[in-house]
Amino acid sequence: MEVLEHHEFRVTRNEDVEVDEDESENLIQALERELLRRRFGPPIRLEITDDMDPVTLELLITELGITRHEVFRLPAPLGLTGLFDIAGLNRPDLKYPPHLPVTARQLQPSEPTEEPDIFRSIRAGDVLVHHPYESFATSVQAFLEQAALDPKVLAIKQTLYRTSGDSPVIEALIRAAESGKSVLALVEIKARFDEQANISWARKLEKAGVHVVYGLVGLKTHCKLALVIRQEDDGTLGHYSHVGTGNYNPKTSRIYEDYGYFSADKQVGKELTRLFNELSGYAIEKKYKRMLVAPRYLRQGLLRHIAAEIRNHLAGKPARIRLKLNSLVDEIIIDALYRAGIAGVPVEIWVRGICALIPGEPGLSENITVKSVLGRYLEHSRVFWFDNAGEPTVYIGSADMMHRNLDRRIEALLQITDPVHIAQIDAQLTRGMSDDVQAWSLEPSGQWVRHSTTKDGNPLLDVQNETMTEIMTRKRGAAPR
């Protein structure tokens, strides 16, 4: 046999997994069957090199059963994953300088000889941590590990969407269950491409005595929540809450920018307890005071805040909307933002990925600015800011402005009330939307324009480096508690 030609091609298959949760007696078994089928899912795209001859292409089209509209000619190479090998070369001169996350000031012991006590720190006041600048290991991970070992802890409840392969988070839950604590883990086994890993974790947790639940039928649980219930020295029950914008994943926490919020506030603990009860099938919660929860209330709550900003602006009161998101495609939210912009409300949007809103369009969105920051770390946090007549209303949470997040997922936003934390978030949003930093701006044409240097050719500031420096400076100050 003589080889006359050779060509590269790549097939993309439909990776959607469909399980009828109402009809499935065993959800895990039904999902595992679907995962086996996914490997042989129908092709939805064929990528070929631009030099492939018509005969070979026709053969592929026929054998794969696709249409010509699903064929894309691209310059080689088709797969770029091999570039990771280049990035892995031992060339420190071509890489970012090493960065070691610091422990949040509020979580540091007041004396060098003291052992860290995360519950004592949270009792002293709410704690806002900013990953990866502030350590996941000495905050979230330490929170769960201390809860697992503390004999006064009675119960731990947690949502798990994605975690790492050797997760200390999972190990902490197992250790807690084995020591006799009541542990509830809500594992989202339908998390795309992590289904098999989450099934394995669910089985391991169940084997250790953890009460594993899979959420509500027809809805993915995407919120990032943890709740620890502890018997305090005075005999009362303390509720220690954590609400995050990112997954409980120690590995991605080193390269994803996210916020986490710890609180011993009774109202927050009460609302997380009610939400966990709802997710585990015990009750349906109708109202929340500090939280906006999808799919019932989150979009409605944001629309109310947007409408209030319009009223405040028309009344001559301070009004502004600032959003930090991964994606913005929900038409209802976009239309509300257009209405705010038309009314004269300044709207600032910091988005990492898809944005279907067009800024700067005369008569529609000239008061709306959209920017994106691409850097060393993946900007992953979600923040919702409303000036609220000079008394800012600020939320952080897991939800992007997409149909799936607002209509088909359990999402939770927590309102931040501590003035110090509001000021920190304000500074970060201001830094990211400044004209003095490296960023991409979205033009009315739909094109993204990169801004990396000043008019004189000097490099603009790096948002992430500036944040890193600011947090390191904050660390060197005296810890407030």
What are the strands, taking DSSP E only, across 399-466?
A: 409-416, 439-442, 448-451
Q: Which amino acid is at 113?
A: T
How many C-beta atoms lie closer than 10 Å to residue 164's C-beta? 16
Domain 293-476 has CATH 3.30.870.10: yes
**How many residues appear in the chain?**
481
| Cβ atoms of 414 and 346 closer than 8 Å | no
| Cβ atoms of 292 and 161 closer than 8 Å | no
- Residue 304 CA to residue 309 CA, distance in Å, equals 9
**CA angle centred on 36, ends 30 and 39, rounded to 5°:** 140
Catalytic residues: 222
- Tokens representing 374 are 């691409």
What share of the chain in percent tops pLDDT 90? Answer: 75
Tell me the pLDDT tens digit for each residue of 147-160. Answer: 999 999 999 999 99
Q: Which amino acid is at 91?
A: R
- Residue 94 belongs to what H/E stretch? none
Q: Does the pLDDT of residue 199 top 70, yes or no?
A: yes
* pLDDT, average across residues 314-331: 98
Confidence grade of residue 480 (pLDDT, cut at 50, 70, 90)? very low
Q: Does the pLDDT of residue 21 top 60, yes or no?
A: no
Residues 6+ apart with CB under 8 A from 336: 302, 303, 306, 307
In angstroms, how far is the first alpha carbon of the chain from the final one? 77
Supply the pTM of this predicted model. Answer: 0.89
- Residue 126 CA to residue 122 CA, distance in Å, equals 6
Chain position carrying tokens 């084997």: 207
- Residue 440 CA to residue 463 CA, distance in Å, equals 12
- Residue 57 belongs to what H/E stretch? helix 54-64
What pLDDT score was predicted for residue 4?
83
Burial 352-390 (b: 16+ CB within 10 A, else e): beebebbbbeeebbebbbbbbbebebbbbbbbbbbbbbe
Range(s) within the chain of domains with CATH label 3.30.870.10 = 105-286, 293-476
- Residue 27 belongs to what H/E stretch? helix 27-38
- Tokens representing 278 are 């709802």
- Tokens representing 330 are 């929900």
- Tokens representing 249 are 């994943």
* pLDDT, average across residues 397-410: 94
What pLDDT score was predicted for residue 163?
75
Q: Which of 37, 36, 44, 35 is nearest to 14 (CA)?
A: 44
| Cβ atoms of 294 and 409 closer than 8 Å | yes
Confidence grade of residue 26 (pLDDT, cut at 50, 70, 90)? low
Confidence grade of residue 478 (pLDDT, cut at 50, 70, 90)? very low
Indicate the class that CATH gives domain 105-286: alpha beta
